[in-house]
Chains A and B, each alone.
Chain A
Amino acid sequence: MGRYVARRLLQLIPVFIGTTFLIYLLVWALPGDPFAGKCGERPCPESFVAVMREKFNMDDPLFIQYGKYLLNLLQGDFGETFSGTSVGTLISNAYPVTIRLALIALLFEALIGVIAGILTGLRGRGFMDNLVLVSTLFLIAIPTFVTGYLVQTVFGLQLGWIAPTVSGNASWGELLAPGFVLASVSMAYVARLTRTSIAENKRADFVRTAVAKGQPQHRVVGVHLLRNSAIPVVTFLGTDLGALMGGAIVTEGIFNINGIGGLVFRSIARQEGTTVTGVVVLLVIVYLVMNLLVDLLYAVLDPRIRYD
């Protein structure tokens, strides 16, 4: 087990370097001089541009720029934005909000999705099953930006049940509605995944054995069926949490949430390579670590899987 984890962690290194370099390359290759539009319709003083280019090492060759960046990063320095704000500060302000939003979304997914999945999976075909199937299909088919605007307009502006936008400190309560919007599509997937998984395992040998042994129904379902059906669901939820933490550009934009997604989106528009790269680096690490954790969870859930 220990060796497996060590090997996986080692494998993260090339992936990490590859991803950061790729993003770095792309961001600095963005068209347009980031300073061309800084002065409105008037051209910026050349002196200003010179000072900025110097400050952000923009006249160095790309590899040297990247090297300098990586070196600073390893020392925990994420660099500065054009306005002189530390990128580290921006990230540490935005990230907790994104994590809260992601957790709320995950909670919705897990609760509603799993319950719906279990109900339909256990019962098999019937009215309930069809209802869940059809409603999940609809959830999948409607893009988030439509759901988001609908929720904001109807519940926020017209009915006044929720605050239509989220304040700067983004408390848990305020994030409920955005979290629900963010969760809507994944919720549908979780429901369907749970349903499929349970339906399959219901006919598995170990369940039949358990029933034959005369174990009580709740034990068969609780210990044998649900535990074994949980594997794909947990995998999905795990990778999804990694994905959700990657920020939700659309949801954050609609509800004015100061999270990671919006930060990156704005930074791309402003061509602030340092911010974009910094955030993406973090996202990639989170994503990779989540994947590792999910793999380790397998071993806990499924006694057949052993890492050595």
Chain B
Amino acid sequence: MRAGRRTAFIALPTAAALLLTACGGGDNGGDSAADPNSEVTVFTTEPENPLIPGGTNETGGGRVVDTIFSMLVRYDNEDASSINEVAESIEADEDGRVFTITIKDDWKFHDGTDVTAQSFVDAWNWVAYAPNGALNASFFEKIEGYEDVHPADEGEEPTAETMSGLEVIDEHTFQVTLSAPFAIFPETLGYSAYAPLPEAFFEDQEAWEAEPIGNGPFQFVSRVPDQEIKLTRFEDYAGEQQPQIENLTYKVYQSLDAAYTAVVSNDLDVLDQIPVSALAGDAWKTDLEGRTLEVDLLLSYTLSFPLYDEVYEDVNLRRALSLAINREEMAEQIFFGNRLPAQSRVPAVLLDDPEGQCEYCDYDPERAKQLLAESGYTGDVGITYNSDGDHQQWVEAACNSIANTLEIGCNPEPVQTFNVQREIANAREFTTMYRTGWKADYPSIENFLTPLLRTGASSNDGDYSNPEVDAKLDEADQASSVEEATELYMEAERMINEDMPSIPVFDDKGQAGHSTRVENVHLNPLRTLDVLSLSLA
């Protein structure tokens, strides 16, 4: 806070100067004046939950958690393949049901204590245990004994405090037993829900929340709510690559537009998203010449059908609607080419050959009309979307495209917030198509299929069910290798696309910009900033 005091004194003459000359562009208050070069500022939004890895699932807090924690594996910047980080090795048994995880022995938490097998097991058990009410509990549902610590029914008391499927072998080894084989389990372990937690967390959670202690490359220094979270380099960081910068501050912005103007004027160093207003006409590429980057993200936008509503029972109607959406034109006109027209429901980055995955995902007005005629549907359709995200324009455009192609009415129907949208989805009360989006938790095709489309899956809120698809997904889960599993998942996806339970519309592309002060800015396909390679110019 000493810096804050000094700021006030510096700011006063600055204010006077501004009054006199009306010229003060690029004044960054006092922070930079206090310590101009060692601190790199990165955009974030205000975390919506305490910074517990198992209790954070939105991007604002996720950015911070990903920086102060290192997981068992991390994801490559280019193709998001998993690379061992804290893990020395992750070995599966023959069935792909029991995994033996050995961790490297030189990792430490920011408070100096060792990262051990126990740190992982305790953390995972804490997140899964129902009375703790952690947001990411369901990530452990595949582990044996999950039902005992987290009963499906709300009223029921858990019968155990720890999952039977987790067993500490020695200080640096633990064993995970799943209730069913899951070949790609190791790939999922880079998600922050699987982070280890230090002793200090279990001793005094409140104190820990005020000053989180992790094992990542940066450690917590201070936080001003709604303004900033200051981190500094962790000297005992055991990762292969040491961070290049000394201090990293996450600056909280209330609007993306505001953050964008800050990065243009070099007040902010890294911004991992570009607002629509700057994407328009590709203005950002001129505003930020030479300091932009683009990545294909593991994020797909879809329009889902409430299959519990009889209107949408007819598969030909669903196919017709999909064929009636001019994705190319929308990507070009609404997003200025900054989103990719979806070729399938899995983002193209994850597929070696996306073509041929989906027969009904192109724009084909003739065929659309023909299929609509076959379905015999003549009424209007609607698309519900939440108006608190940036969805209005593309949903309206999709609706217009449907209306113009099929010559039926299409009404975009906004609901106030995402909360409301989810509430309707959970209650199964949609009577129109509705906007959905899915950002991968871990880079695997499986993540775009099982949670969303398997019978009874947690996020299958269109109530899609096809026993053949379920069987195919089971087969893939039990595959002996990741490659084989991928093949089988792709097969399952083709089967799903025939049924068209939701219309794939776009794959997202990530755009980022940075100031002239920094270089080596990399985002991975999960839009995570690589804080290790980030360096001062």
A residues in contact (CB < 8 Å) with B: 31-52, 82-85, 89-90, 93-94, 152, 156-157, 160-165, 167-174, 176, 252-256, 258, 262-263, 266, 269-271
Contacts and interface: CB of A to CB of B under 8 A. Distances in A.
Given A32-B416, A37-B418, A51-B131, 13 more contacts: A31-B416, A32-B423, A41-B422, A42-B451, A45-B135, A45-B137, A45-B138, A47-B133, A47-B137, A50-B133, A52-B133, A93-B224, A173-B14
A252 B17 CA distance: 23
Closest 10 CB pairs of A and B: A51-B133, A256-B258, A173-B15, A171-B11, A47-B130, A164-B261, A37-B419, A167-B29, A32-B420, A173-B18
B312 interface: no
Contacts of B61: 83
Contacts of B17: 173
Contact of B25 (A89, A161, A253): A161
Given A42-B459, A163-B27, A157 B264 contact: yes
A47 to B, nearest CB: 4
Interface of B: 4, 7-8, 11-12, 14-19, 22-31, 46-50, 57-58, 61, 130-135, 137-138, 150, 154, 209, 224-228, 251-255, 257-259, 261-262, 264-265, 267, 388, 416-423, 426, 436-439, 451-452, 458-459, 461
B135 A41 contact: no
A289 B132 CA distance: 44
B423 to A, nearest CB: 4
Q: Give the interface SS of chain A, mostly helix, strand, loop or mixed.
A: loop
Contact of B426 (A36, A83, A270): A36
Contacts of B12: 172
A176 B19 contact: yes
A296 B426 CA distance: 56
Nearest to A54: B133
Contacts of B417: 32, 37, 269, 271
Contacts of B265: 160, 163-164
A47 B154 contact: yes
Given A42-B459, A89-B225, A174 B254 contact: no
B31 A167 contact: yes
19 contacts: A32-B423, A36-B423, A38-B49, A45-B135, A46-B154, A83-B50, A93-B225, A157-B261, A164-B264, A165-B258, A167-B28, A170-B29, A173-B19, A174-B27, A253-B255, A256-B255, A258-B226, A258-B227, A258-B254
Contacts of B27: 163, 167, 171, 173-174
B423 A33 contact: yes
A161 B227 contact: no
Contacts of B11: 169, 171-173
Given A51-B131, A173-B14, A85 B420 contact: no
Contacts of B28: 167
A48 B134 contact: yes
Residue of B7, B46, B57, B419 with most chain A CB atoms under a 10 A cut-off: B419
Given A41-B437, A161-B25, A171-B11, A50 B154 contact: yes
B227 A168 contact: yes
Nearest to A82: B48
A169 to B, nearest CB: 5
Given A42-B459, A172-B12, A51 B419 contact: no
Interface residues of B, dominant DSSP? mixed
Contacts of B46: 83, 266
Contacts of A45: 130, 133-135, 137-138, 150
Contact of A47 (B58, B132, B261, B452): B132
B451 A162 contact: no
Contacts of B420: 31-32, 36-37
Contacts of B24: 161-163, 173-174
B133 A48 contact: yes
Nearest to B152: A46
A53 B452 CA distance: 27
Contacts of B267: 163, 165, 167
Contacts of B225: 85, 89-90, 93
A168 B29 contact: yes
A300 B57 CA distance: 58
A161 B27 CA distance: 11
Contacts of B426: 36, 43
Q: Which of A39, A43, A163 has the most CB of B within 10 A?
A: A163
Contacts of A42: 138, 451, 458-459
B431 to A, nearest CB: 17
B261 A169 contact: no
A263 B419 contact: no
Contacts of A90: 225-226
Contact of A266 (B19, B135, B254, B461): B254
A176 B18 contact: yes
Contact of A93 (B226, B257, B416): B226
B134 A171 contact: no
Contacts of A52: 133
A17 B209 CA distance: 34
A48 B52 CA distance: 13
A83 B416 contact: no
B453 to A, nearest CB: 12
Contacts of B19: 173, 176
B262 A165 contact: yes
A157 B25 CA distance: 9
Contacts of B227: 93, 168-169, 258
A149 B337 CA distance: 26
Contact of B50 (A32, A84, A266): A84
A157 B257 CA distance: 12
Nearest to B131: A47
B154 A171 contact: no
Contact of A161 (B23, B137, B255, B458): B23
A34 B25 contact: no
B412 to A, nearest CB: 19
- Looking at A42, A49, A160, A164, the one whose CB has the most chain B CB atoms below 10 A away is A42
A92 to B, nearest CB: 10
B438 A41 contact: yes
B69 to A, nearest CB: 18
